[in-house]
Chain A
Amino acid sequence: MKFQFIYLPVFTLLFSVASISHSVGQPQLTRNGRIVFFSKNELENIEAANNQVTSVFNPQNGDIVFMALIKGFKFRKALMEDHFNENYMESNKFPKANFKGAITDISKINIIKNGSYPVKVKGELTIHGITKSIETLATITISGGKINAVSKFNIAVKDYGIKIPKLLVKNIAEIIEVIVDCTYEPLKKT
């Protein structure tokens, strides 16, 4: 196997040993996480969603990673999807976006008590081959033994080296709104 270090944080989190017997205390996994982004501009609003985001969250120390395939974002129009992959994201060259970080105030969350907990998330986001530190707010909801994480933040396309042709500056926003929504389950092998 040609090991790629992009997967190291995922493997590390997946195989970390849980010392808490309660299931929500174990490493949590989703392979059906959702990332939606919105570009709102004068001429048109563009929206795309990816429902196959992999994410691992360790509720004990707050470590959290996300991984999304760029080609997994679905658009309303085939041409939009084509331009997104070929012209802007260069998805053959940079097939993935990923985030590696942690909830910095994990002690605020009581993992065995149902509730909604506003938290801070800090880490490194890699898009289009460029890694930037980001800090944002998120909400962790614990309900019926399941953990849900939602975060909404903005990214500037120029920060990630994504070039918008002058002809299209009125079509594509310079600031993209991103919503991440993941519902986790305790890691289980089948």
Chain B
Amino acid sequence: MNKKGIIFLSIAIVVMAAGIIGYKMWNQSFKDPLRGDAIKVTAVQLFNDFLNDEIAAQKKYVPEKLSDKIVEVWGEIKEIGKNEDGEIYYNLRTNDEIFSVKCVMEKGYEIPNAKVGDTISVRGFCNGYNMDVIVNRCKV
């Protein structure tokens, strides 16, 4: 192969590699909360931590880069609902009379036959405190 051919081939390989990397990055899936270590905490503790010092709780529980912290939260179901995107959520009881830890489940990962009063444990990604503490993309 002559010099021009080698240069052309090298460029083609670099372009193809960049294309494959770009395509993989564009189509990367959301991180699975069932994989990797998780911060284990009760719903009552998680809620109290945000109530007592929101900034410290944000640093402790909320991912800085996308999905780099997983929380495993357990507690008693106070309410079960479904949002407009068809995702089931479990509001876990805290010491507050109104607000909860809201665990929004990934579709297909709902807990079969779960009912109010049951104690459950789910893994997901904490979004922060919005009067409720929100844990999203949860799986069991």
Question: Quick one: which of A67-114 are within 8 Å of B by CB?
Answer: 67-69, 71-72, 74, 77-79, 81-82, 85-86, 92, 95-96
Given the contacts A1-B51, A95-B128, A34 and B134 also touching, CB distance less than 8 Å: no
**Other-chain contact of B130, A54, A85, A181 (Cβ < 8 Å):** A54
Residues of B within 8 A of A71 (CB): 62-63, 127-128, 136
Q: Are A31 and B58 in contact (CB under 8 A)?
A: no
In angstroms, Cα B97 to Cα A190, docked, is 5
Q: For chain A, what secondary structure do more than half of its interface residues adopt (helix, strand, loop), or is it mixed?
A: mixed
Contact check, B104 vs A2: say whether CB atoms are below 8 A apart: no
**With A2-B55, A72-B136, A189-B97 as given contacts, are A34 and B83 in contact (CB-CB < 8 Å)?**
yes
Q: How many residues of A contact B (CB 8 A)?
A: 36
Convert B101-134 into 0s and 1s, putting 1 for each residue whose CB lies closer than 8 angstroms to a CB of A.
Answer: 0101000000000000000000000011111101
Contact of B54 among A4, A68, A74, A92 (CB under 8 A): A4
Q: B47 to chain A: closest CB distance in Å?
A: 12
In the complex, chain B residues 44-86 whose Cβ is within 8 Å of any chain A Cβ: 51-55, 58, 62-66, 78-79, 81, 83-85
Report A's interface with B, CB cutoff 8 A: 1-2, 4, 7, 10, 14, 29, 31-32, 34, 49, 51-54, 67-69, 71-72, 74, 77-79, 81-82, 85-86, 92, 95-96, 181, 187-190
Which B residues lie at the A interface, using CB under 8 A?
A: 25-31, 51-55, 58, 62-66, 78-79, 81, 83-85, 87, 97-99, 102, 104, 127-132, 134, 136
Which 3 pairs from chain A and chain B are nearest by CB? A51-B83, A189-B97, A71-B127
